[in-house]
């Protein structure tokens, strides 16, 4: 039977005098054997973006018109922020426990010292051979302790912890907005196609007659599988197939992301992690059983809890990411603004080109007369 390692007393724990910077994520982190969820996520984002932009927006509003370009610009900005925050969440180390960390039990300025449930000793990781700071937990997938660990997310192949929690939350925010926006454009495109099909039904016997309740019929998938070659929702069979895949993928994805976003908003308002929530449920039950009142030790109030995670500046909550230490910041908002400016210039050029074409057509008509 393997004996557990006895933790040294904090007073005799060796403290390293040199400063140790947390190691960066390895370049093989994304391309490891467990990176398949990351590749699937990137493929899904690419599919949703291309389908929304080149099928739904173009089929409904015409991509080269003013409404089409405005919606394409807005959706591109949201998608850019979503992808950027996703990549940063994947590449950012969630937070390592410093090798020189020793809990100072005599520090009066730090009244919170987490202890074991049994015995009341300070928490010590037997696998990492060091004491655990408050809110730190050992991740079996990462095989190390993570500061303020929330959970291990397989879709980013990384832990969500102290250093990348804000980036992960912003990614979920923009992913939810992008999915809802894409669903609205999808429904608008479907309704527009229904109206076009009704007008063309008398001219072509191969066009399938559908109404607004077609998507709610159990035989919808059967129609697509057996009569896909004769069906025309957009401009061809590819659009019909893309619409089915989009509906099957994005509708449940939107619901899942909305629930996940609401869950983390609830956690941030109470300054809790997912692990601390489930630990708090047990602590609350034990407190009520003993006639006591349980209060979360890290709860500072709703607004203070939000600023503790997202930062003191409200404007930078959703558009500025701290991906390095110090004052080195990278603004996703600035990148998105540049993209939107380029698309707006394209709108102006398209309008000028349309006006020139109309002028030439009118001039040609006058000459022919």
Active site residues: 153
Residue 28, judged by CB atoms within 10 A of its CB (0-12, 13-18, 19+), counts as exposed
Measured torsion, CA atoms of residues 146, 169, 265, 47, in degrees rounded to the nearest 10: -130
The residues near 190 (Cβ < 8 Å, ≥ 6 apart) are 215, 233, 243
Q: In Å, what is the CA distance from 195 to each residue of 188, 210, 229, 233, 234?
A: 11, 9, 20, 10, 11
Can you tell me whether residue 99 is helix, strand or coil? Answer: coil
Q: How far apart, in whole angstroms, are the C-alpha atoms of residue 69 and residue 60? A: 12
Q: How far apart, in whole angstroms, are the C-alpha atoms of residue 57 and residue 69? A: 9
Q: How far apart, in whole angstroms, are the C-alpha atoms of residue 161 and residue 134? A: 13
CA 253 to chain CA mean position, Å: 11
The residues near 81 (Cβ < 8 Å, ≥ 6 apart) are 170, 174, 319, 332, 336
The residues near 217 (Cβ < 8 Å, ≥ 6 apart) are none
Q: What are phi and psi of 26, to 5 degrees?
A: -65, 150
Nearest to 169 by CA among 235, 104, 265, 236: 265
For the chain, state the CA radius of gyration: 28
Q: How many CB atoms lie within 10 A of CB 91?
A: 18
Q: What is the DSSP letter of 228?
A: G
Can you tell me whether residue 100 is helix, strand or coil? Answer: coil
Token digits of residue 126: 């037997």
């Amino acid at each position: 039977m393997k004996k557990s390692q006895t933790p040294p007393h904090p007073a005799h724990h060796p403290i390293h005098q040199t400063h140790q910077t947390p190691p960066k994520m390895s370049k093989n982190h994304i391309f490891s054997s467990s990176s398949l969820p990351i590749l699937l996520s990137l493929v899904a984002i690419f599919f949703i973006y291309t389908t929304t932009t080149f099928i739904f927006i173009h089929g409904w509003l015409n991509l080269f018109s003013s409404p089409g370009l405005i919606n394409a610009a807005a959706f591109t900005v949201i998608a850019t922020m979503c992808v950027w925050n996703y990549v940063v969440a994947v590449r950012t180390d969630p937070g390592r426990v410093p090798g020189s960390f020793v809990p100072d039990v005599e520090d009066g300025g730090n009244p919170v010292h987490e202890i074991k449930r049994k015995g009341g000793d300070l928490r010590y990781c037997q696998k990492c051979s060091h004491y655990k700071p408050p809110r730190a937990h050992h991740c079996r997938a990462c095989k190390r302790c993570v500061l303020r660990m929330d959970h291990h997310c397989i879709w980013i192949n990384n832990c969500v912890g102290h250093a990348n929690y804000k980036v992960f939350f912003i990614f979920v925010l923009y992913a939810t907005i992008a999915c809802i926006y894409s669903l609205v454009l999808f429904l608008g495109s479907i309704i527009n196609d229904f109206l076009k099909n009704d007008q063309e039904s008398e001219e072509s016997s191969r066009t399938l007659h559908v109404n607004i309740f077609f998507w709610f019929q159990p035989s919808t998938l059967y129609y697509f599988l057996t009569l896909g070659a004769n069906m025309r929702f957009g401009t061809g069979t590819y659009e019909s197939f893309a619409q089915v895949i989009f509906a099957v993928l994005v509708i449940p994805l939107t619901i899942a992301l909305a629930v996940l976003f609401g869950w983390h908003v609830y956690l941030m308002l109470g300054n809790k992690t997912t692990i601390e929530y489930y630990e708090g449920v047990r602590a609350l039950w034990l407190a009520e059983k003993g006639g006591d009142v349980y209060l979360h030790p890290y709860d500072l109030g709703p607004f203070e809890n939000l600023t503790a995670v997202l930062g003191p500046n409200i404007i930078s909550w959703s558009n500025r990411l701290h991906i390095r230490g110090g004052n080195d910041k990278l603004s996703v908002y600035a990148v998105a603004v540049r993209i939107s400016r380029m698309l707006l210039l394209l709108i102006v050029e398209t309008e000028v080109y349309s006006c020139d074409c109309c002028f030439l057509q009118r001039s040609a008509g006058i000459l022919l007369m």
